[in-house]
Amino acid sequence: MVTDGKSVLVELVRGGRSPSSITRADEAQILRACSVEVDQRQERIRAHLQRGAHRSARRTAVDLRGALAARAKALFCSLPRALRSHPFLSGAEEADLRERRWACISDGLGRVGDLTSPARYTLSTRAKSIPGQYRAIYEFGSIDAARQRLIRSSLDPFVDFHPSQFMLRQTGQGRGRSAVSKSLLSQLPRLTSDHVFVQMDVTKFYQSVSHSWLEDNLPLPKDIIRSQVHVGGMAVFPVRDNVAARLGIADSGAFEMMVRQGLPTGSALSPLVAEFVMSKVLGELADRHAASMSGLFVPSLHAYSDNLGIFVRQTEVDAIVDLVRGAFASSAAGPFEVTAARPI
């Protein structure tokens, strides 16, 4: 009997195994084998990039997007909630759920690789902390979500994070909120009594990203970028009246303006693309203004998504905020607007 995860997956695709025959052990082995293969392909891309072999890296990324293991992993991670495992199921219920899960994955393996088919989304809203204001949320079906994860797996090795980024960049202290908090705390012993902390926010960062910049700079084919990355080439299901009213897009002209630029919030791919954009803007800022910031910029700036924070001397606050605002406003990836809170 076949026990190797990749072999089980291949037999499932070829019809030698049925979804009902996939056991819990089979499922675990398939997922493990898929993850290992994706990791190995990503490492090959990174190795090509380190040697400066960018064409080879792009070809390897194409191979990754076409790999059975990568497609299966993306589909599994994008399963509808109703097909995901959860506790309190009997053995028979879990077996039935697993059969339906793998029938869904098997059916999607051929469709998920079509990355030039426009993603389709439903537009909804989420209330902001400010009363009466709402954020647009793009909701995608499981196949489009899997396509986004498939593209993300091939794009990840190409993202050269700026040292100040913490949301997705792996550091010695991990990544995410805990990493940025630890890094900020580590700065404290080096500060003097005249230092303050300035927090800045890139207003509507996702909505402000230039589509043409993405098409010129992302290491992906333009037809994929237009169909799956930015909102310009995607298809929208009819927008409900209450959603249109909350977002102020009741007339078609306002909606067209909304989708003329920006990344879709709710896409599994958008956070990585946003970090790619942010890394480029921060790199330009550091290169252009490091001398003006007296060497304080690089070690002190912290970026978490579209939030920026920096320790500076009280006398430098206005100059540094102006420099940051100017760099974001003049970026070809935007332009972007930066707001600053009162220093603390």
Three-class HEC string of 104-138: HHHHHCCCCCCCCCCCEEEEEEEECCCCCCEEEEE
* Interatomic CA distance for residues 172 and 186, integer angstroms: 13
With 0-12 CB in 10 A as exposed, 13-18 as middle and 19+ as buried, what is 282? buried
pLDDT for the residue numbered 2: 43
Order of strands, sheet of 235-236, starting from the edge strand that comes earlier in the sequence: 134-140, 120-127, 235-236
Nearest to 108 by CA among 78, 139, 63, 129: 78
CB 333, CB 327: distance < 8 Å:
no
How does pLDDT run across 249-287, given as a tens digit for each residue?
766 666 776 778 899 999 999 999 999 999 999 988 877
Q: How far is CA 29 from CA 16, 20, 32, 176, in A?
A: 17, 16, 5, 29
Order of strands, sheet of 195-203, starting from the edge strand that comes earlier in the sequence: 302-304, 307-313, 195-203, 337-340
pLDDT for the residue numbered 90: 82
Residue 242 CB partners (closer than 8 Å, separation 6+): none
pLDDT band of residue 56 (cuts 50, 70, 90) is: very high
* Interatomic CA distance for residues 230 and 119, integer angstroms: 10
pLDDT band of residue 1 (cuts 50, 70, 90) is: very low
Listed in sequence order, the DSSP H helices in the chain are 5-14, 24-50, 54-66, 68-77, 91-108, 142-155, 177-187, 205-208, 211-217, 222-224, 241-247, 252-258, 270-289, 297-300, 317-329
With 0-12 CB in 10 A as exposed, 13-18 as middle and 19+ as buried, what is 287? exposed
% residues pLDDT > 70 (the chain): 93
How does pLDDT run across 285-306, given as a tens digit for each residue?
877 666 555 444 545 889 999 9
pTM confidence score = 0.90
According to DSSP, the β-strands at 195-203 and 134-140 are unpaired
Token pair of 204 as six digits: 């509507």
The lowest-confidence range among 81-90, 229-238, 273-282, 289-298 is: 289-298
